[in-house]
């Protein structure tokens, strides 16, 4: 570029820069000082706090005082999905898991996680997160069950993670249910579409293959009919309440007795392969 | 025929193939949401469809169209061969491969996270990697556009870069800036999560990085429409461009002010302070400036054409315009949609009013009207204008083209005006089904059904459009005269260096981005907010 | 064409001034609503760990819903989960300032309340907060308005706005539906 045209261009550069920067400065003054200070004054928020809030250095709106809460926690489950817990479930001690499973779990839930008794749930291919959470909840009394409480009493968090991962990964796909599938269109509809008017999401929106629901969501496909029905009824009556934020209690109370029976039959009859395809 | 004809056509066919498929998905979604019986709707299918519709329209149609049109513009406006044509093909195949990867992931149901991603929901890595490849392909295009302009300037020292190319390069540079946000989000957070390398993500940070891209991307889509307004419509109307300088100023204003404003998409988010929302709102207001300047300049240009054709009086030039020409007709219809869409946009960007319409159908209506209406109708007109040059054939009659443009306009109005009304009444977004037994929702039913009629017209228009392009082969031979972009009434012999290149504007973009996004991004590294657990949609939960 | 360059420039400068005025008017309206009506978007950079939300004091199940705090302020706490709100119905008094505090243990959600300008995103890691006054009584619909997974369409709650005299807090200051 020639010297002459550079001189010609300088006013453009200067004016454009000044205008652009000036607008930002004015906007910043208004947004960070004028608005918060004026709003804060009538709400009893001091100017310093108001400016800090407008800058994002303090929580809350410059125009309202922050509310406070003095409640004590009464958690329904003590399991938190921290990075450490998740990492442990992804990288378990496999040997430890299979030893513990053989010694502690096999007599009721089967050596390969396929339970011989209708009252006991299958473990084969169950989500490691679901098993871990339930073991933890049994131990801490968040889920009441005398047999399980005594079984898990001696286990620490790492052992529970190892057992959970053992059943989840070692015997995935072991179930081959033979019970007939429910074909009632109303139940298929509830599973696949939900009922918007009753505020019932589709069961598949959490328990489906492509769901992306809460981490601890259990696999239902191929599970024992009797077990599923019993759990839904326990949620509905509030006897079981270790589902955080009423996720299942809310749904179970909206279901009729016959829906509970048929849903249990439906899931008991689906092959696990259908879920992990 | 130009030497980039094959290259351009390859891009445009991919763009419009995606467009046609996306229209089918769109119409099905409207049917699902309507009070009419919808036998096959399950949530899994619906959100697969929404993802496919969004990706096809927002990423595939736009990126391929813009690349194809850019290559055509570089060669015709600069009147010299495109440099690095093998690279252009490489970019094309990269983007095609990426598209196929993403499509496979979407259709297998493993990426139903919508085109705006929403981590901590996380889909198949193929989905994100595919989209990254599309973006990398477009980066090759950006570099080729910049190189083409550089080489031309080297050969023509001191001469003003033709406006069409100046605008194309402005868009290429803006797109490079724009994609930084989404590329950072995908490469550093979402893809590691989708591959299982990390189990938790900082949701606020991902949203902020996406917002960096989310507004400027709309201007990326918009640029070809504005290039057509400035450099094709005046020519088609038989007049001249009122002012070349105003065009340059408009395009640099888009470059500067479409980027530091993305936070207005997060007005309703808790993780940003009122002060930064206010600053970005203030800058958002300024995006109205280049649009208002354009409305003036193009109206004045068309007035020149109208008066040359014998129009008299204050408004007599309007009926005197050659409305039978597709480019002129599309420009007029586009302006009408811009009027409604822009008005709706003023509500969206408002610091206070946004709360009334955020995540309601109002927003859906707004961007369908602005993008689907204002912008895509100009994509159609551009195709009609350049297709004879690309194929060597010209349509015997333009009846079908006019019919198609009118169908699109009427369909878009019938679809989007009820959506505005529904949005004001609280109809929320991204829902597969509504409960029409609820009295509040029942009142919406007739409006939802009306909008479905608009959708059917739009689909009909899309089919006619693709037919019009495909059928052109059979028509008569096109004249061999070179393609000409509009020149100004006073075509400048030289322009200030600042309006002939982007050095100054890149510096200003950097300054504005630091001011607008510096702390809003840095705060996540200082504050270290708690992360959320990744929720995978591509494996059983 | 007989339009001189200076004529064009003059017309453009005039139009630019009109544009400037239009932009200034929009801007002034925003500043007015901010200063006079205290309109702000719902910013609240208050973090909370979504992974341990159910272990927190404030968002423990028994503290959700509407409560008249000891200081007299009315606060409604709601947790948005996949795919329901807890509680699914909240009661608020008409014509009184109410603060809604919302958060989530899982993914991104958002709410609006039909017929009002109550609107906020609910982002994991943060407590979203909306200060408002409900003016019309009756049951209002509060849907989740952001894609949160396959059950998004079935995710909604009810905001029951009651006249001041029917708003009767219990001994702890809590008011619930039913």
Is the predicted pLDDT of residue B2 greater than 70, yes or no?
Answer: no
- The partner residue sitting opposite A8, judged by closest CB among B434, B496, B519, is B496
B424 lies within 8 A of chain C by CB = no
Question: By C-alpha distance, which of A43, B401, B4, B303 is closest to C73?
Answer: A43
Q: Find the helix or strand (DSSP H, E) in which B535 lies.
A: strand B535-536
B265 is catalytic: no
pLDDT at A30: 96
pLDDT at B324: 95
Chain C residues whose CB is inside 8 A of the B426 CB are 112-115, 141
Residues 38-77 of chain C with CB under 8 A from chain A are: 38, 40, 42-46, 49, 51-52, 54-58, 60-63, 69-71, 73, 75, 77
B389 is catalytic: no
Query: Is domain B5-536 classified as CATH 3.40.50.1100?
Result: no
For residue A243, the SS3 value is coil
Return the residue in A77, A142, A205 with the most chain C beta carbons within 10 A, the one to mutate for interface testing: A205
Q: What is the mean pLDDT of residues B493-501?
A: 91
A119 lies within 8 A of chain B by CB = no
pLDDT at A221: 86
In this structure, is the dihedral angle defined by the CA atoms of residues B339, B343, B344 and B345, taken in order, positive or negative? positive
Each residue's pLDDT tens digit, B289-314 = 999 999 999 999 999 999 999 999 89
- Domain coordinates in residue numbering, chain B: 5-536
C79 lies within 8 A of chain A by CB = yes
- Domain coordinates in residue numbering, chain C: 1-39, 50-175
B473 is catalytic: no
Distance CA C83, CA B526 (A): 32
Backbone angles phi, psi at C68, to 5 degrees: -85, 110
pLDDT at C139: 95
Strands C74-81 and C97-103, how do they pair? parallel
User: CB distance A61–C42 less than 8 Å?
Assistant: yes
pLDDT at A275: 41
C33 lies within 8 A of chain A by CB = no
Chain B residues whose CB is inside 8 A of the A84 CB are none
pLDDT at C2: 59
Q: What is the mean pLDDT of residues B94-113?
A: 96
- The partner residue sitting opposite A1, judged by closest CB among B286, B497, B538, is B497
Catalytic, out of B367, B371, B459, B483: B367
Distance CA B105, CA B107 (A): 6
User: CB distance C55–A73 less than 8 Å?
Assistant: yes
Return the residue in B268, B275, B522, B529 with the most chain C beta carbons within 10 A, the one to mutate for interface testing: B268
Chain A residue with minimal CA distance to B48? A210
Token pair recorded at residue B17: 């193939």
- Output DSSP code: residue C51: G
User: CB distance C38–A39 less than 8 Å?
Assistant: yes
Residues near B520 by beta carbon (within 8 Å), at least 6 away in sequence: A56, B208, B263, B272, B276
Chain C residues whose CB is inside 8 A of the A213 CB are 82-83, 149-151
Distance CA B65, CA B34 (A): 32
Token pair recorded at residue A13: 């550069």
The neighbours of chain A, by the rule of 3 or more Cβ pairs under 8 Å, are B, C
Catalytic, out of B11, B366, B389, B536: B366
- The partner residue sitting opposite A5, judged by closest CB among B158, B511, B520, is B158
Chain A residues whose CB is inside 8 A of the B516 CB are 24
Matching residue, tokens 């993802």 = B51
Catalytic, out of B25, B64, B118, B219: B219
B368 is catalytic: yes
Q: What is the mean pLDDT of residues B180-192?
A: 97
Each residue's pLDDT tens digit, C102-142 = 999 999 999 999 999 999 999 999 999 999 999 999 999 99
pLDDT at B164: 97
Matching residue, tokens 């960070």 = A32
User: CB distance C120–B270 less than 8 Å?
Assistant: yes
User: CB distance B278–A35 less than 8 Å?
Assistant: yes
B443 lies within 8 A of chain C by CB = no
CB B223 within 8 A of CB B171: yes
Average pLDDT taken over every residue of chain C: 94
Each residue's pLDDT tens digit, B348-358 = 998 889 999 99
Residue C42 pairs in a beta bridge with: none
pLDDT at B477: 75
Q: Where does the pLDDT of residue B223 fall: very low under 50, low under 70, confident under 90, or very high at 90 and above?
A: very high
Is the predicted pLDDT of residue B471 greater than 70, yes or no?
Answer: yes
User: CB distance C34–A199 less than 8 Å?
Assistant: no
The neighbours of chain C, by the rule of 3 or more Cβ pairs under 8 Å, are A, B
CATH architecture type of domain C50-175: Sandwich (2.60)
Reading chain A (277 residues) residue by residue, the pLDDT tens digits are 444 567 778 888 999 999 999 999 999 999 999 999 999 998 899 999 999 999 999 999 999 989 888 889 999 999 999 999 999 999 999 999 999 999 999 999 998 899 999 889 999 989 999 999 999 999 999 999 999 999 999 999 999 999 999 998 876 666 655 555 677 889 988 998 999 889 899 999 999 878 889 999 999 988 999 999 999 999 999 999 999 999 999 999 999 999 999 999 999 887 644 443 3
User: CB distance B273–C146 less than 8 Å?
Assistant: no
pLDDT at A169: 83
A74 lies within 8 A of chain C by CB = yes
B45 is catalytic: no
Return the residue in A65, A69, A72, A247 with the most chain C beta carbons within 10 A, the one to mutate for interface testing: A69
Strands B121-122 and B535-536, how do they pair? parallel
A171, A245, B128, B203 from B197: Cα distances, Å? 24, 29, 15, 16
The distance of B389 to chain C (nearest Cα, Å) reads: 29
B430 is catalytic: yes
The neighbours of chain B, by the rule of 3 or more Cβ pairs under 8 Å, are A, C
pLDDT at A215: 93
Q: Residue B473, Cβ neighbours under 10 Å: how many?
A: 9
Average pLDDT taken over every residue of chain B: 94
Distance CA A144, CA C104 (A): 26
Q: Where does the pLDDT of residue B539 fall: very low under 50, low under 70, confident under 90, or very high at 90 and above?
A: confident
User: What is the per-residue burial (b if ≥16 Cβ within 10 Å, else e) of A91-114?
Assistant: ebbeebbbebbeebbeebbbebbb
Chain B residues whose CB is inside 8 A of the A209 CB are 109, 539-540
Distance CA B222, CA B370 (A): 9
In chain B, % of residues over pLDDT 70: 98
């Amino acid at each position: 570029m020639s010297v002459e045209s550079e001189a010609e261009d300088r006013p453009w550069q200067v004016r454009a820069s000044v205008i652009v920067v000036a607008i930002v400065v004015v906007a910043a003054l208004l947004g960070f000082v004028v608005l918060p200070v004026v709003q804060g004054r009538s709400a009893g928020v001091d100017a310093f706090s108001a400016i800090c809030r407008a800058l994002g250095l303090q929580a809350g709106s410059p125009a309202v005082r922050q509310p406070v809460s003095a409640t004590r926690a009464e958690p329904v489950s003590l399991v938190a999905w921290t990075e450490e817990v998740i990492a442990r479930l992804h990288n378990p001690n496999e040997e430890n898991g299979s030893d513990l499973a053989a010694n502690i779990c096999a007599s009721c839930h089967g050596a390969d996680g396929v339970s011989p008794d209708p009252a006991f749930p299958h473990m084969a291919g169950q989500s490691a997160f679901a098993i871990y959470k339930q073991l933890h909840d049994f131990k801490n009394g968040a889920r009441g069950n005398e047999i399980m409480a005594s079984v898990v009493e001696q286990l620490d968090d790492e052992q529970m993670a190892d057992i959970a991962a053992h059943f989840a990964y070692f015997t995935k796909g072991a179930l081959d249910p033979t019970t007939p599938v429910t074909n009632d269109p109303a139940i298929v509809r509830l599973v696949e579409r939900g009922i918007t008017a009753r505020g019932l999401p589709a069961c598949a929106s959490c328990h489906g293959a492509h769901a992306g629901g809460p981490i601890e969501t259990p696999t239902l496909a191929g599970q024992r009919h009797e077990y599923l029905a019993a759990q839904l009824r326990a949620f509905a009556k509030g006897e079981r309440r270790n589902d955080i934020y009423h996720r299942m209690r809310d749904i179970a109370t909206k279901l009729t007795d016959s829906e509970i029976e048929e849903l249990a039959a439906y899931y008991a009859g689906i092959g696990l392969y259908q879920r992990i395809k | 025929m130009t030497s980039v004809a094959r290259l351009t056509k390859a891009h445009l066919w991919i763009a419009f193939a995606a467009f046609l498929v996306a229209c089918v998905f769109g119409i099905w979604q409207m049917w699902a949401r309507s009070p009419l019986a919808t036998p096959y709707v399950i949530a899994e299918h619906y959100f697969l469809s929404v993802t496919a519709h969004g990706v096809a329209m927002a990423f595939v149609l736009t990126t391929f169209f813009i690349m194809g049109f850019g290559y055509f513009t570089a060669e015709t406006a600069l009147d010299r061969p495109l440099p690095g044509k093998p690279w252009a093909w490489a970019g094309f195949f990269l983007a095609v491969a990426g598209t196929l990867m993403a499509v496979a992931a979407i259709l297998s149901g493993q990426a139903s996270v919508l085109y705006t991603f929403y981590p901590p929901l996380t889909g198949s890595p193929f989905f994100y990697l595919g989209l990254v490849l599309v973006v990398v392909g477009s980066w090759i295009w950006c570099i080729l556009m910049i190189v083409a302009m550089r080489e031309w300037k080297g050969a023509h020292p001191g001469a003003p870069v033709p406006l069409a190319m100046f605008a194309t390069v402005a868009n290429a540079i803006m797109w490079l800036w724009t994609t930084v946000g989404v590329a950072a989000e995908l490469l550093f957070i979402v893809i590691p999560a989708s591959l299982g390398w990390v189990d938790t993500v900082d949701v606020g940070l991902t949203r902020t990085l996406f917002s960096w891209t989310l507004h400027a991307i709309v201007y990326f889509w918009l640029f070809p429409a504005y290039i057509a307004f400035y450099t094709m419509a005046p020519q088609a109307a038989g007049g001249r461009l009122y002012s070349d300088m105003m065009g340059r100023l408009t395009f640099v204003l888009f470059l500067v002010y479409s980027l530091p404003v993305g936070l207005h998409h997060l007005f309703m988010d808790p993780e940003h302070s009122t002060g930064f929302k206010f600053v970005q709102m203030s800058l958002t207001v300024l995006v109205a400036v280049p649009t208002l300047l354009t409305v003036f300049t193009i109206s004045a240009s068309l007035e020149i054409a109208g008066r040359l054709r014998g129009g008299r009086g204050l408004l007599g030039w309007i009926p005197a315009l050659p409305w039978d020409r597709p480019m002129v007709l599309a420009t007029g219809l586009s302006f009408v949609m811009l009027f409604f869409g822009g008005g709706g946009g003023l509500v969206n960007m408002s610091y206070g009013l946004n709360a009334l319409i955020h995540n309601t159908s109002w927003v859906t209506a707004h961007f369908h009207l602005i993008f689907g209406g204002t912008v895509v109708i100009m994509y159609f007109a551009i195709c009609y204008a350049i297709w004879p040059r690309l194929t060597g054939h010209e349509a015997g009659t333009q009846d079908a083209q006019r019919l198609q443009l009118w169908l699109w306009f009427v369909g878009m109005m019938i679809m989007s005006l009820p959506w505005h009304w529904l949005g004001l009444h609280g109809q929320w977004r991204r829902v597969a089904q509504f409960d029409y037994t609820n009295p509040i929702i029942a009142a919406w039913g007739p409006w939802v059904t009306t909008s479905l009629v608009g959708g059917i017209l739009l689909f009909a228009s899309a089919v006619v459009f693709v037919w019009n392009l495909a059928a052109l082969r059979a028509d008569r031979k096109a004249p061999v005269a070179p393609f000409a972009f509009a020149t100004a009434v006073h075509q400048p012999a030289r322009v200030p260096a600042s309006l002939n290149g982007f050095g100054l504007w890149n510096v200003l973009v950097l300054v504005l981005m630091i001011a607008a996004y510096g702390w809003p991004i840095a705060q996540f590294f200082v504050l270290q907010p708690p992360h959320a657990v990744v929720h995978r949609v591509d494996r059983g939960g | 064409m007989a339009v001189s360059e200076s004529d064009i420039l003059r017309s453009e400068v005039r139009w630019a001034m009109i544009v400037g005025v239009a932009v200034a008017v929009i801007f002034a309206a925003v500043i007015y609503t901010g200063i006079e009506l205290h309109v702000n978007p719902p910013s609240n950079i208050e973090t909370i760990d979504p992974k341990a939300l159910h272990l927190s004091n404030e968002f423990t199940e028994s503290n959700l819903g509407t409560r008249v705090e000891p200081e007299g302020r009315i606060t409604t706490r709601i947790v948005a989960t996949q795919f329901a709100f807890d509680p699914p119905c909240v009661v608020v008094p008409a014509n009184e300032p109410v603060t809604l505090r919302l958060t989530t243990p899982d993914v991104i959600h958002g709410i609006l309340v039909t017929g009002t300008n109550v609107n906020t995103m609910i982002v994991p890691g943060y407590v979203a907060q909306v200060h408002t006054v409900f003016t019309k009584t009756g049951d209002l619909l509060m849907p989740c308005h952001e894609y949160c997974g396959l059950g998004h369409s079935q995710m909604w709650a009810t905001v029951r706005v009651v006249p001041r005299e029917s708003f009767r807090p219990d001994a702890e200051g809590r008011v619930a539906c039913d």
